[in-house]
Structure 1
Amino acid sequence: MPTALITGCSSGFGLATATLFLAKGWDVIATMRTPDATLFPGSDRLTILPLDITSEGSIADVVKKAGAIDLLVNNAGFGAPVPVELTPLATAQQLMNTNVLGTLSLTQAFLPLMRAKKSGVIINVSSSVTTKAMPLIGLYRASKAALNAWSESLAIEARPFGIRVHVVLPGRSPETKFGQNAQAYFGGRDDPAYGKMVDEFIQMVGNSHAPVTHAEDVAEAIFAVANDQHAPLYTAAGEDALHSLTEAQHRSPFSY
């Protein structure tokens, strides 16, 4: 059976994706910072490995243990909803190190193995916020837009080697920690300049009546792309993400 390596499997999109691929009969290498076998049903097709995508040593160890894989799902990421003005440089660096450079490093490590066997699929989990500007996520959006940009170039570069590259764009999800992170980053929600904006953002994230993206939506989108030789570069996951992507395609049909 084909083998998928999926990052960020401790919760949310990664956990749902690994669970779905196992159910569909794939061999799965589920990675996370702190391995937890209790998250999954017992299976001889499941391997759980520790992985910190910001650590070159951790990446090298995973590549050595995993070997040649058929599918790499770059799902691990970091989100921080903070106004651009108030974003600490350390937070901006963490966003870029995880969402852009960490994902890039892991991809670069597996590409030679995929080129050697002249096949492979790489799916990068980005975000539908890259299709439309929103407040409080400027640096997060910038990191995901950078991920999109190098994914587009890699898709062209990797094609002659039989390797497909795709981007999945999830929408707002109750399974992510954006609402929690917003409250954590804004212990001072009484900020005279941005307090109201932060409150509105937290309410928007927690709005149970608006269309959202569930972890299962993302898992199903990733599985569909992995098994479709003619999948587009960008695939929306979730009703809200599909709406955002459709709007973006109308605005700039050559970008998506």
Structure 2
Amino acid sequence: MQLPETRPLVETQTHSMEQKIVLITGASSGIGGASARTLAAAGYRVFGGVRRLDSVTSVPGIEWIQLDVQDEESVAAAVRVIIERTGRIDILVNNAGVSLVGPVEATSIAEAGALFDVNVFGVLRVVRAVLPSMRSRRSGLIVNISSVLGFLPAPFMGLYASSKHALEGLSESLDHEVRSFGVRIVLLEPSFTNTNLDTNATRTKAVIKDYAAALACSVDAVRQQVSNAPPPDEVAKKVLAIAEGTRQFRQPADGRAKLLSFLRRFAPSGQVDKSLRRAFGLEA
């Protein structure tokens, strides 16, 4: 099997043996791209996993590597190349993800399967490829980028929220399983972030007219909140803090996420329900 291509910025770049080795999936843009730049600037040796090398440009400290989380052979080959070059992967950031907007009723099984293939099974593929090395070294950190929708579902994002709920369950179970090997899992839960994930989200192919008005209100509300949301660099700072040692298992990535987490746990359910409906344009 042909090994994946990589593209370092500077061919003569040298690397200290003390540098932490980081693999970030979905690193071409958004939270993944910001995290790659932030960790590289902080002195980490970063491998940015991307599906297509021609989609990225050279960035100091980042070595781009072909990695498609939907392709098990691609994942295995990329991980093998990194370990051959560096001897290890210290930190894995599972960031690659896609979104899907539309009524649950309008979502086909194929659409749901494609979403889960990236957001859940993609994580599983990369974790399975990286863990043997981490276990053998009795050291490692896996950061899974979740969402506030991982604990607080939103209308017309039912399958995306389901995938993040699945990711959270997988992560918590995994953390118990690997802790004795010196490996820890951290869930990072951003709220709205100013990236293209939500604004360019795929729509369900099927259209059900009964949902049209509410769906339009919800999409407009999301776009407005995304436009006013903090940039992905703010989430990247949390990724860096986790890499530096903030290892609490579940971590809201920003103030809004922290507030929503608190309200979900302690506020009356009726109050949370009304607030959520207002936020997504379903009630005035």
TM over 0.5: yes
Question: 1:46 — aligned with what?
Answer: 62
Tell me if the contact between 2:25 and 2:96 (Cα under 8 Å) persists in the aligned partners. yes
Aligned ranges 1:205-244 → 2 under 5 Å: 205-207=222-224, 212-228=229-245, 231-244=247-260
Deviation (angstroms), 1:102: 1.2
Residues 176, 38 of structure 1: alpha-carbon distance in 2 compared, 3 angstrom cutoff: closer
Tell me if the contact between 2:190 and 2:252 (Cα under 8 Å) persists in the aligned partners. yes
CA distance in 2, matches of 1:79, 1:209: 14
Tell me if the contact between 2:69 and 2:123 (Cα under 8 Å) persists in the aligned partners. yes
Aligned ranges 1:72-151 → 2 under 5 Å: 72-151=92-171
Residues 212, 239 of structure 1: alpha-carbon distance in 2 compared, 3 angstrom cutoff: farther
Tell me if the contact between 2:194 and 2:226 (Cα under 8 Å) persists in the aligned partners. no
Q: Deviations over 1:11-38 (max 9, x none)?
A: 1000000000011011000011112475
- Secondary structure (helix, strand or coil) at the match of 1:143 reads helix
Deviation (angstroms), 1:187: 8.9
Deviation (angstroms), 1:180: 2.6
Instruction: Work out which of the two has the higher radius of gyration on C-alpha atoms and give 1 or 2.
Output: 2
* Matching residue's letter, 1:196: A
CA distance in 1, matches of 2:147, 2:49: 20
Question: 2:49 — aligned with what?
Answer: 31
CA distance in 2, matches of 1:112, 1:63: 11
Residues 7, 210 of structure 1: alpha-carbon distance in 2 compared, 3 angstrom cutoff: closer
Deviation (angstroms), 1:177: 2.8
28, 37, 40: which is aligned to 1:10?
28
Residues 81, 208 of structure 1: alpha-carbon distance in 2 compared, 3 angstrom cutoff: closer
Deviation (angstroms), 1:222: 1.0
Question: 1:178 — aligned with what?
Answer: 198
**Percent of aligned pairs sharing the same letter:** 31
Deviation (angstroms), 1:65: 0.4
Deviation (angstroms), 1:249: 3.5
CA distance in 2, matches of 1:105, 1:185: 26
- Secondary structure (helix, strand or coil) at the match of 2:224 reads coil
Residues 247, 36 of structure 1: alpha-carbon distance in 2 compared, 3 angstrom cutoff: farther
Tell me, yes or no, if structure 1 residue 246 matches structure 2 residue 262: yes
Deviation (angstroms), 1:119: 0.5
- TM-score between the two structures when normalised by the length of structure 2: 0.81
What 5-or-longer segments of structure 1 have no aligned partner? none
Tell me if the contact between 1:212 and 1:238 (Cα under 8 Å) persists in the aligned partners. no
- TM-score between the two structures when normalised by the length of structure 1: 0.89
* Matching residue's letter, 2:47: I
Tell me if the contact between 1:123 and 1:165 (Cα under 8 Å) persists in the aligned partners. yes
Tell me if the contact between 1:10 and 1:36 (Cα under 8 Å) persists in the aligned partners. no
CA distance in 2, matches of 1:3, 1:28: 6
What 5-or-longer segments of structure 2 have no aligned partner? 1-18, 269-284
Residues 152, 207 of structure 1: alpha-carbon distance in 2 compared, 3 angstrom cutoff: same
Q: Deviations over 1:52-80 (max 9, x none)?
A: 11111101111110112100000001110
Q: Deviations over 1:206-235 (max 9, x none)?
A: 21598634201211111111211x521111
Tell me if the contact between 1:218 and 1:237 (Cα under 8 Å) persists in the aligned partners. yes
CA distance in 2, matches of 1:110, 1:52: 15
Q: Post-superposition, which runs of at least 4 consecutive aligned residues in structure 1 deviate over 3 A? A: 36-40, 184-188, 208-211
Deviation (angstroms), 1:201: 1.6
* Matching residue's letter, 2:241: A
Tell me if the contact between 1:7 and 1:73 (Cα under 8 Å) persists in the aligned partners. yes
